Structure 1
Amino acid sequence: MTAAHGVQGTLDDLGTPLSEVTFVVVDLETTGGSAADSAITEIGAVKVRGGVELGELGTLVDPGGPVPPFITALTGITTAMVTAAPRIESVLPAFLEFARGCVLVAHNAPFDIGFLKAACAANGYAWPAFTTVDTVDLARRVLGKDEVPNCKLGTLARFFRTATEPTHRALADARATVEVLHGLIERLGAFGVTSLEEMRGFAKAPTPEQRRKRHLADDVPSAPGVYLFEDDGGEALYVGKSGDLRSRVRSYFTGSETRRRVREMVGLAERVRTIVCATGLEAEVRELRLIAEHKPRYNRRSKFPERAIWLKLTVEPFPRLSIVRECRDDGACYLGPISSRRQAEEARAALHEAVPLRQCTQRLTPRLIERGRARTCALAEIGRCGAPCDGRESADAYALHAGTARTVMEGDVRPVVAAAQVRIDRLSSELRYEEAGAQRDRLAAFVRAAARGQRLAALARVPQLVAARPGFDGGWELSVVRYGRLAAAGTIPPRADPWPYVNALTATAETVFPPAGGAPGGVALGAGPSAGATAEEMECVLRWLDLPGVRLVELDGAWTCPVHGAEGLRRWIDNAYVSVEPDTLRSGRPLR
């Protein structure tokens, strides 16, 4: 018998020791949150190995357009600062060479890596096969809730007492992330993690609670639909949708799910309830309705559709523009819904520039004016208000302004656009480009709010719309929409006569009553089942109707937007943000 001999493993079997790994920690500042419609304004990167800094790279980047005011407020980076900076096509080769052969590290890596990949694709560079590490994922696995309330960079920097404070500037944040990375690596030693391969696997490993709850996905079907995680009392914890319910639900119990709130939700869940849907659109709409109905604590969006923001022209002797969170059937004129209060304020400012409505908040009446008890302001002295408060402008003269504002809000946006064009032209000719950009932002907020409201209103007025989209199996997806609400969804098998299916679906579709007035076109929000749709639901339907291959089968009534409305100006506004030279802020080009 031959004795067995032990074989000593090589260093390769043990992985790459963390002390020998060269990390490049990168951070970006950008003009927005999406690589699809935003650009990089600053790159900061620090190269380290074994706790020793090997080099730094930091530069501002010209994004090819103005820096939005809210980004300037957050980062301190202004349009003037990046005007003379190199473009991304000049910076990218230097960064790729700096990081060549290294492990990329970023805090919330999908964000930074996504922008870098998009920049490479746009400029003809192949994205290198970088190994990446996300310090957010590591922090979620290494630190407990009793140690840090969240995994934001500022929170982790304070916890690890970093010498560099994050300031929303790329190089400073990259330096702070280096110190956070070193602190996390120290913590990993307590878990026996000493190599790069072990560190990456540790960040993606499922928790014991996730492994214990895997059986909840056993009976989930492989079909499109909606899923609800529920606790032992039947309360909905989280609502989601998927084209393949089984695959999506099972992902919650694997290491790929690293979100702390979701892992916490999985620990509380005792069952998963599913609703199979005929089409992806039905699943998306059902998800929105269930979130609005149950308001699950672990869903962050779409929980309060009734809290939409509107711009309201009030009903009173001297109407004014007010930002409200409720659209009532009170005879007032509404513009919206608008995505945020800041956007509503920008839209209101654009309308005020075109129409000299009063901007005071007092309830002004003829009796109050006659008694001389109305408060006055300085806007009249600079020509921004006719001053009905002190009798300088009669009720009839003011009614003309209110009528113009109502006409604009109901569909004719030309007065606002014309007034904005004059101001942008004047400011641009005086080389006051930042002020011209601010005026453009106001106009953009108004046009986008008006376009959104007009699209929704147009759909909300249609009693019935039947549309079909080609399915993946050669058949058709069918949708019945009534007053903007998805009333029924179904499918038509390949090579089948479509009309029996269309007739059956419309005959069994939900009854939907016309929405109440109030908003332009009668968009009803929060009116409950069978009484119109929320703005989010109608936008889901509109996105589906805009997909390639969708065909109108039946249309009851007219589906149109105003001739002089904002819908036709959206592309023009978007192009203004893509323009490179400041002169493109000027509006001499035709809008058509």
Structure 2
Amino acid sequence: MQLAFDELGTPLRDVTFVVVDLETTGGAPDGGNITEIGAVKVRGGEVLGEFATLVDPGVPIPPQIVELTGITTAMVRSAPGIEQVLPAFLEFAAGAVLVAHNAGFDTSFLRAACAEHGFTWPKPTVVCTLKLARRVLRQEPRGRLSYRLSSLAALFGSGTTPNHRALDDAKATVDVLHGLLERLGPLGVQSLEELLDYLPDVTPAQRRKRDLARDLPERPGVYLFRGPSDEVLYVGTASNLRRRVRQYFTSSDSRGRIREMVALAERVDTVECAHSLEAAVRELRLLAAHRPAYNRRSRNPGKVWWVVLTDEPFPRLSVVRRPRDGALGPFTSRTRAKATADTLAGIAMLRTCTARIPASGASGSPCVLAELGSCGAPCAGAQTVEEYRPSVRLVSGLVEGTDATLLSRGADQLTELATARHFERAARRRDELAALLRAVGKRHRLTALASVAELVAASPDGSGGWELAVVRHGRLASAGVARRGVPPLPVVDALVASAETVLPDPGPLRGANPEETALLWRWLTRPGVRLVRTSAPWAEPLHGAGRWRSWLDAADTAATLEAAGKAAGAAG
């Protein structure tokens, strides 16, 4: 199919590519860790810059990885952590097409690292030289053809020999990329769009549907694929709506459900947004409103659980779907909510039985928890309401951030177990306490933001201007931009005047969607974001989980080292 003149897109000579390679400790992205990042930025055959750094993975590097890469634990001990490296790499790669050999491996680790440390993955256009080589070189004699990076580097006469070090492998991949592009030139592949269109497994019917993207704006926003009955099939976000939607019809996507969705799609609607934050929020709201069949995230939108104290003379902790003031959460899993409730009840010595106990007391038989000293046995009349009440107050104080006694008590129990050399029980208690800390910390972060009636913030847009957001009770009420040279404060005043009115509901998040509030919190706490004004101070509780972050970091490190040791023992 011949492209029209206005569809020719960006000539390859004008495309900025960032060719990246990672070295890791091995394993999957959720179990392995990055040890080195190397990247080369090129345009028109010219090298514009290089990025290279070792990364401290926080765990020992397995011997087989040391043998493969030559990177030892001692070499990375003084290197920065990935949370320090990511902002610099994302800035280096901003706006560029990301290239890697077996790109799915490298991008999966980068995406996982972004998710773990609260950075937004920019969803760049990605070109995989492995897939491209298989497409371009399929006519080569099979007996002497290999798609390994070392073989391709030799085939194209690369000046750098791959050696499992990130920067050298990235340099070799640059030469492979240029060699492949040279072979594509005579085939009429002259633009980035044509390069993406050249990828395999794109059916003629899929290509014909690219007209659905022809008139879409080249602005950030949300897109909605609609089916034969005008139903919403899929919702997504993009920094450039036209370019992103067009990729569904011109590039290969191995996900079967997406291919099926594209085959059904008959129209694409868009909602233009001021910036990526507004787009992400609108995506969440549209997913909840339409529950499109082809979005995995729409299966259980807003399905969260909370832990609350029951309203009875001898309260216990219960897992519920609808929170009220004083609830701990949110939890995305009922199992996690129940585990946290059990941990908290054990430390506070609250009862876990479900029997109704009258205020006058009961005369039943105590359960095994009472025999173990984990419960005061009010079910057996061993505690009065007055004697039971301090435990309830401690739980409420921890949840509200006014009293951290239970955290100290849990840490003391952990120390006692370790001192007594009950190491397995100590490890379990450490992990339980860490999970409790994370839950309490999340609750404090989100409720602190949701309690502010109005907050206005500004983030640098990278071009001398500002991205602006008005947040009311944990919800995005208005969004806009002040471009370079435009005074931002008049824009702020206009956004505040036109912002959505938000009336708070009862409950810890004032009725806000937990996922939206968490998204706003991550954006507001990014480096460079400034608070323009707030209706009330935005702060987490003084006696909250924030004071325990160093303890939590140490616990997470210990758990990671323990897991790595077990894995090494199993491998040996």
Among candidates 110, 119, 141, match of residue 104 of structure 2: 110
Residues 1:86 and 1:480: Cα distance change in structure 2 (over 3 Å): closer
Give the Cα separation in 1 of the matches to 2:513 and 2:254: 32
Q: 1:429 to 1:467 in 2, by over 3 A?
A: same
Q: Which amino acid aligns with 2:235?
A: V
510, 517, 524: which one aligns with 1:545: 524
Q: Within 5 A, what are the aligned runs for 1:54-93?
A: 86-87=62-63, 89-93=65-69
Q: Provide closer, same or farther for how the CA distance between residues 94 and 253 of structure 1 changes in structure 2, counting only shifts above 3 A.
A: same
What secondary structure, in the 3-state scheme, does the structure 1 residue paired with 2:315 have?
A: coil
Displacement, 1:409?
1.4
Rounded to whole Å, the distance in 1 between the matches of 2:519 and 2:204 is 37
The count of corresponding residues between Structure 1 and Structure 2 is 413
2:537 to 535, 544, 558: 558
Q: 1:345 to 1:252 in 2, by over 3 A?
A: same
Kept after mapping to 2: 8 A contact 1:483/1:515: no
Larger of the two Rg values belongs to structure: 1
What's the counterpart of residue 443 of structure 2? 453
> For 1:524, which of 474, 493, 510 is the aligned residue?
510
Residue 354 of structure 1 pairs with residue 352 of structure 2? no
Give me the CA root mean square deviation.
3.5
Q: Percent identity?
A: 45
Q: Is the 8 A contact 1:478 1:492 kept in 2?
A: yes
Question: Does residue 503 of the first structure (1) align with residue 493 of the second (2)?
Answer: yes
Residue number in structure 1 paired with 2:326: 333
Q: Which residue of 2 aligns with 1:32?
A: 30
1:572 aligns with 2:563: no
Structure 1 residue 427 displacement after superposition: 3.1
Contact 1:467 1:480 in 2 (8 A): yes
The letter for the 1-side match of 2:30 is G
1:221-279 Cα distance to aligned partner (Å, 9 max, x none): 11100000111211111111011111111111133311111111111111000011011
Q: Provide the residue aligned with 2:290 in structure 1.
A: 294
Aligned residue number for residue 515 of structure 1: 505
Looking at structure 1, the residues matched to 112 and 441 of structure 2 have their Cα atoms a distance apart, in angstroms, of 29
Q: Which residue of 2 aligns with 1:442?
A: 432
**Which moves more between the two structures, 307-316 or 223-232?**
307-316
Residue 220 of structure 1: how far off its partner (Å): 1.5
| Native 8 Å contact 1:317 1:365 kept in 2 | yes
Q: What's the counterpart of residue 364 of structure 1?
A: 357
**Which TM-score applies when normalising by structure 2?**
0.65
Question: What 5-or-longer segments of structure 2 have no aligned partner?
Answer: 1-24, 36-56, 72-101, 114-126, 136-196, 563-572
Task: Report the 3-state secondary structure (helix = DSSP H, G, I; strand = E; otherwise coil) of the residue aligned with 1:327.
Answer: coil
> Any conservation in 2 of the 1:448–1:570 contact (CA below 8 Å)?
no
Moved over 6 A (4+): 116-119
Residue aligning to 2:319: 323
Change in Cα spacing, 1:300 to 1:447, as seen in structure 2 (3 Å) is same
* 1:347 CA drift (Å): 2.0
Deviations 1:110-144 (A, max 9, x none): 3589569999xxxxxxxxx997579xx99xxxxxx
The separation in 2 between residues aligned to 1:92 and 1:312, in whole angstroms, is 51
Specify whether residues 317 and 546 from structure 1 end up closer, same or farther in structure 2 by C-alpha distance, changes over 3 A only: same
Distance 1:306 1:415 in 2: 32
Q: Which residue of 2 aligns with 1:484?
A: 474
- Alpha-carbon distance, 1:477 to partner: 1.1
Map residues 232-381 of structure 1 onto 2, 5 A cutoff. 232-301=228-297, 304-328=300-324, 333-366=326-359, 369-370=361-362, 372=363, 374=364, 376-381=366-371
Counterpart of 1:440, as a letter, is: R
- Summarize deviations over 1:45-94 as a string: whole Å, max 9, x none: xxxxxxxxxxxxxxxxxx976xxxxxxxxxxxxxxxxx9x9446534349
TM-superposed CA distance for 1:303, in Å, is 5.1
For the 8 Å contact 1:353–1:420, the answer to whether it is kept is no
Q: CA 1:365–1:207 in structure 2 vs 1: closer, same or farther (change >3 Å)?
A: farther
Distance 1:220 1:243 in 2: 12
Q: Does 1:411 align with 2:407?
A: no
Q: Is the 8 A contact 2:29 2:109 kept in 1?
A: no
Q: Distance in 1 between matches of 2:227 and 2:242?
A: 19
- Structure 1 residues 498 and 418, CA gap change in structure 2 (3 angstroms): same
Residues 553 and 268 (structure 1 numbering): CA distance in 2 closer, same or farther, change over 3 Å? same
1:28 touches 1:112 (CA, 8 Å); kept in 2?
A: no
Question: Partners of 2:275 and 2:540 in 1: how far apart?
Answer: 28
Aligned letter for 2:333? Answer: S
Return closer, same or farther for 1:33/1:363 CA change in 2, 3 Å cut-off: farther
| Cα distance between partner residues in 1 of 2:411 and 2:105 | 36
Which deviations, in whole Å up to 9, do the C-alpha atoms of 1:175-214 show, x marking residues without a partner? xxxxxxxxxxxxxxxxxxxxxxxxxx99832134422322
1:387 CA drift (Å): 0.8
* Residues 222, 282 of structure 2: 8 Å contact kept: yes
Whether 2:379 is the aligned partner of 1:389: answer yes
Secondary structure, counterpart of 2:245 in structure 1:
helix
Assess, with a 3 A threshold, how the Cα gap between structure 1 residues 555 and 381 changes in structure 2: closer, same or farther. same
Point out where structure 1 has 5 or more consecutive residues left out of the alignment: 1-26, 38-62, 66-82, 96-107, 120-128, 139-200, 526-532, 583-592
Q: Match of 1:216, SS?
A: helix
Q: Distance in 2 between matches of 1:117 and 1:395?
A: 51
Q: CA deviation at 1:436?
A: 2.3
Deviations 1:462-494 (A, max 9, x none): 111111112233221111111111111111132
SS in 1 for 2:296: coil
Residue 14 of structure 2 is matched in structure 1 by: none
For residue 217 of structure 2, the aligned residue among 208, 215, 221 is 221
* Partners of 2:548 and 2:330 in 1: CA distance: 18
1:340 and 1:87 map into 2 onto residues whose CA distance is 36
After superposition, the Cα gap between the structure-2 partners of 1:109 and 1:223, relative to the gap in structure 1 and judged at 3 Å, is: closer
